[in-house]
Chain A
Amino acid sequence: MAGRVGIVAASTTKFEAAKPHEHLMDLVVEVTDKVVEAAGINLKDDVEAVVSCSQDFWDGRTISSMPIPDAVCSHLKDESKVAGDGAYAVLYGAMHILSGDNKLILVVSHCEESITDGTMIENWSIDHIYHRWLGLDYTMGAAMQARRYMDKYKVTPEQFAKVVVKNKGNARKNKLAQEAMELTVDQVLKSKMLADPITALQKKPVSDGACAMILASEEVAKKLTPNPVWITGVGNFYEHHNLGDRDLAECDALIKSTKRAYKMAGISNPVKDLDLVELSEYYAPQELLWTEGLGLCGRGEGGKLIDSGKTQLKGEIPVNPSGGLLSGAPVIVAGMARVAEAVWQLQGKAGEHQVQGAKRAVAHGCDGLAGQMHCVLVLEKGGK
């Protein structure tokens, strides 16, 4: 990349199954106040532009960013809304800085999944001529993906369940996590079957919350904080939409995103070069597939990787030390919350689930049916 973009500070709300007494903008105000305080800036004077991230269907509102300028005090400023996963909002924010247009910006994402019916929204994202009428939602998409993955690479439901045990277990150390549980593989497999092989505990819980970040140019970031986190590599790609146009046991878009991001950041051996990974596993099987896509193991070896224990909190390459999406984070906020977690890890502020001495991390966001779009960000601390 042409220059370095610094993340000065990040904040999230506590993620909860429902926040019935908080308006969406209460969440935005909460995370904005927190991040502004953490960055030691003045919201009104210092923030030049705002990148927000939300989606009309989830908010039940055309132009879901309508109330954002009020909530983030950006009257008469540049505000723009990314309608996708929050990781893309961070990427778009980075573009603002790299282009030289802005030196300091606020990125903020929000969603209250509890106010609507997510499966219906998922169905509305599916091609309206051929497939929507089958009643598909993301759980069914993920189940087909998991089945194909099992079929092609002989990955097992037990290995999927291990992901849940690990992530919800890691969440016990994370104060902001929504669902922290001590589980056994058997408990995971015996929870209610949603769409074979995906059981209830293998699905990300319904969640409400928001996330905010301050991004700045290298010069400004260094002035504001002794420990800025640099975005040193980015990559994002779409998969085809029609499931029949993809091999669901593969993750081509993620592989391409990873290649691009790693090339920019100069990463050749991810297991060695990275200290942790925060990825978007909406469903447990996806974590295994995404670890392959992120190059943490060979193709088809996601199951072996979880068996090896390398991705545990104390392992060689911890994956989702925070508990990941399985421990709770709303869609949209999901990918950005992964970035936030990675930022805190690199700043040494993660708390009990801190990965000691973490210098370089990957945050991954994705959205769509069976993970149709992927965004990979490489984050680093220190350096020249």
Chain B
Amino acid sequence: MANRVAIVGIGQTTHSGRRPYVNDGELIYDAVTKALEDAGLTINDMEAVMAGNMDFFEGHHLNDAMLNLYSGAAGRPGFKMNTGGTVGTMTAIQGWYHVASGLYDVVLAIGWEKHDEGLVTPAISTITDPAVDRHFLVGAIGGLATVSVAYMQRSGCKLEHAAMVRANSSQAAHRNPNAHMREIYSVEDVMSARMVMYPLNLLMCCPTSLGATAMVLASESKAKKICKKPVWMKDHVTVHVEYGGAQFGIGEKRWTSHMEAGAKLFKRNHITKPMVETQVFEMYDPFAFAIPMWLEDFLVCEPNEGWKLVEKGALKLEGEYPVSPSGGVLCTNSIGDSAILRIAEAALQVRGDGGEHQVTRDVKQALASGFGGSYWSDLLLLSKTID
């Protein structure tokens, strides 16, 4: 039986588009310091330190080792995971394995990215096969525009619904002091933004941001001793799928990584009504159609119902099922940090420490997701209590 694992400390930097006078190590140090302060611990209490990030975005090889003076990993155990957009959730899951395996009691997991020191799209373009399709797919948007069109055709979702999603996210991000794009946009503002790749216009795409998030994870016995409000990492699912056309889940027989992840997680935890049994979802939502489409894909709501929930205003911060109350990836996307930030924000909601962007529902359980690679997913279930 695995050791149970709790989040006992959370820290994040403020996020922005450009900070030329701060280096990546300093970002990490900032997040780590805040997480340790939140946990009431020092770096000397950390038995292992793990850091996740994407090599090509800043152009550093083995940067977990390179920046280990800033992260506190110097002289401690740890190693690096790298799985694309999911790297943040993967690093937290790596922390989970460190503790659940019984090898460690208190560990530190860090995700970071500093996109102003590199070019995102050229780096993302190299995810495709050099011999087959590197010449066709440009960055992440090619695939995501394709699935958005497919979703519109399949479900009846309109461009306006995506604009509503983005307008909601801007309202949420405005209340989150750590978010990158905090400007408030109306549906009309979003609709009139410049088209990038149909149907995604500029505001319907996530920005390129910089920032870092750190979390202290502890075993059950330790967490109960040192933390008043531990948030339990109750379960996690990772689903990776084959690389190729089928990755997008277009066509009649759709069964995507998100569907597999949702099905597994809900079955294992006996959740039959996800929108009742979990009260908030911090989703990795890198484009505006993601929220309605992936709520369906994660099996949180019925097929073709996602955009109707958007229309009803149900997914707003004060709605019946708030999604990404932090403003989500749509307003802040520092890739190596984006997914771990979803867990951190969901955990803050569970603790009731969301501040101005705390949802109105009483949160007992929360979902957090990561997205990356060739349509890969990580899905986590956080809980206020452990039975």
Question: Which A residues are within 8 Å of any B CB, using their own CB?
Answer: 1-2, 23, 49, 55-57, 60-70, 74-84, 88, 91-92, 94-96, 98-101, 121-122, 124-129, 234-242, 245, 252-253, 256-257, 367-369, 372-373, 375
Contacts and interface: CB of A to CB of B under 8 A. Distances in A.
A62 B65 contact: no
B83 A69 contact: no
B55 A55 contact: yes
B237 to A, nearest CB: 8
A103 B359 CA distance: 39
B355 interface: no
Nearest to B72: A238
Contacts of A2: 101-102
A372 B260 CA distance: 39
Nearest to A264: B103
Given A56-B56, A79-B238, A239-B74, A70 B244 contact: yes
Given A1-B102, A95-B97, A81 B83 contact: yes
A362 B96 CA distance: 26
Contact of B101 (A79, A94, A235): A94
A140 to B, nearest CB: 16
B304 to A, nearest CB: 23
Given A84-B62, A236-B79, A1 B103 contact: yes
B275 interface: no
B76 interface: yes
Contacts, number: 193
B69 A242 contact: yes
The B contact surface, by secondary structure, is loop
Given A62-B127, A96-B97, A368 B60 contact: no
B242 interface: yes
Contacts of A373: 65, 79
A126 B93 contact: no
Interface string B208-243: 000000000000000000000000000001111111
Nearest to A367: B62
Given A80-B93, A83-B62, A240-B75, 6 more contacts: A61-B127, A66-B84, A78-B237, A80-B83, A238-B73, A373-B79
Contact of B68 (A70, A236, A238): A238
Contacts of A62: 54-56, 84, 123-124, 126-127
A48 to B, nearest CB: 11
A56 B239 CA distance: 20
Contacts of A236: 77-79
Contact of A69 (B62, B68, B241): B241
A88 B255 CA distance: 33
